[in-house]
Amino acid sequence: MCFAWVLPSVDALFKSVRGEEIRNICAETLSRIENDVGRMLHDFEDSVLRGISDVSDNRGEVHGLTEYVMKQIDLIVRNRRLLTSLIKSTPSMDFGDLIIPRGI
């Protein structure tokens, strides 16, 4: 678990028997966050790699997928420290396998 650094503090704060539920909820929440980040990165990659427009735009407007990608890249850059701590493995540089597998 990438947020393992949080758990010792939670364990120390809620070390009583009554605090067990809080500790469990915290661990479950952190696990869900990690899974959600992996899913979002997968969905983002899938949109970029598989999203092909069949509509040509000759008016010079920014395509919707391009705008989406730009916003996602901005989010990734702004949250790079957090994302770096959440990503469990280095993405493959094998360009034959560009999609991050689900469940990371």
pLDDT (tens place) for every residue of the chain, 104 residues total: 456 677 788 888 888 888 888 888 888 888 888 888 888 888 877 777 776 666 666 776 767 777 888 888 888 888 888 777 766 665 555 555 555 455 54
State the total domains in the chain: 1
Q: Residue 56 falls within a domain, yes or no?
A: yes
Q: Residue 103 falls within a domain, yes or no?
A: no
Q: Residue 96 falls within a domain, yes or no?
A: no
Domain residues for the domain of 45 are 2-86
Q: Residue 95 falls within a domain, yes or no?
A: no
Q: Residue 26 falls within a domain, yes or no?
A: yes
Q: Residue 101 falls within a domain, yes or no?
A: no
Which class for 27: exposed (0-12), middle (13-18), buried (19 or more C-beta within 10 A)?
middle
Q: Detail the DSSP E strand segments found in 42-91.
A: none
Q: Residue 32 falls within a domain, yes or no?
A: yes
Q: Residue 66 falls within a domain, yes or no?
A: yes
